[in-house]
Amino acid sequence: DTAVSQTPKYLVTQMGNDKSIKCEQNLGHDTMYWYKQDSKKFLKIMFSYNNKELIINETVPNRFSPKSPDKAHLNLHINSLELGDSAVYFCASSHNTGSSNQPQHFGDGTRLSIL
Amino acid sequence: DQQVKQNSPSLSVQEGRISILNCDYTNSMFDYFLWYKKYPAEGPTFLISISSIKDKNEDGRFTVFLNKSAKHLSLHIVPSQPGDSAVYFCAASGPGNTGKLIFGQGTTLQVKP
């Protein structure tokens, strides 16, 4: 009964390819996030969605496109993958952003390696 | 520009002793602070949080202290246990209700039996 689950856990692909990472949460949360942890271990927010509506869109290349079919899912599609996209991507969820005092719950990450 | 900093990349303590992890921030508008714990190959797990209207929050062996004038917070673990060995991330959010968390770079805690 995993709370926030991401698939795949590992993704190895060639430069230039297009790939997707899926995320699902069963916590009943209505806000979901994508974070990127780079080689220096910094965790940085990329996007957040609240009830399928985009709330946060950090300075991320437009090759990255999040898609939220419903409030329990937030997928991340990446076009034309580049070497610099190699990182661990974490999905998270929380109760709505009406209050900032809500901890976020994270998935176990997807390790993306670009060859 | 790093708004949340954990200046100690690692910390080693003996089992049973106190572990103190530190975090500094630069944005005085942050109003909510959290600590996360992360094991290898897993996602960060929420540990404890504190609102800027408080200066201390306690949950079992874990206590977070907030010093707003110094823009500093710390996590105390007493007594430390080998299972506490992990990477600890400090995070901050605010102002407003975007839910955007700014993370520090983490401190690796090793608790020796």
pLDDT for residue B109 is more than 60: yes
- Using the CB atoms, write b or e for B77-92: b if 16+ within 10 Å: beebeeebbbbbbbbb
Look up tokens 């937030």; give the residue: A74
Provide the residue type at B24 as one letter: D
Cα distance from B35 to chain A (closest Cα, Å)? Answer: 10
Q: What is the pLDDT of residue B97?
A: 65
pLDDT for residue B54 is more than 70: yes
Contact B97 A44 (CB under 8 A): no
Assign residue B63 a region (left: φ > 0; alpha: ψ between -120 and 50; beta: otherwise). Answer: beta
Average pLDDT of span B2-17: 95
- Please give the structure tokens belonging to residue A54: 């985009």
* pLDDT of the residue at A99: 57
Q: Is the pLDDT of residue B65 over 70?
A: yes
First to last CA, chain B: 38
The mean pLDDT value for A39-53 works out to 87
Closest Cα in chain A, distance from residue B98 (Å): 6
- Cis amide prior to B40 (ω within 30 degrees): no
Average pLDDT over residues A68-83: 94
Q: Is A66 on the interface with B (CB under 8 A)?
A: no
Backbone angles phi and psi of B84, in degrees to 5: -80, -10
Q: How far is CA B71 from the centre of its chain?
A: 13
Interface contact A55-B99, CB threshold 8 A = yes
A25 touching B (Cβ < 8 Å): no
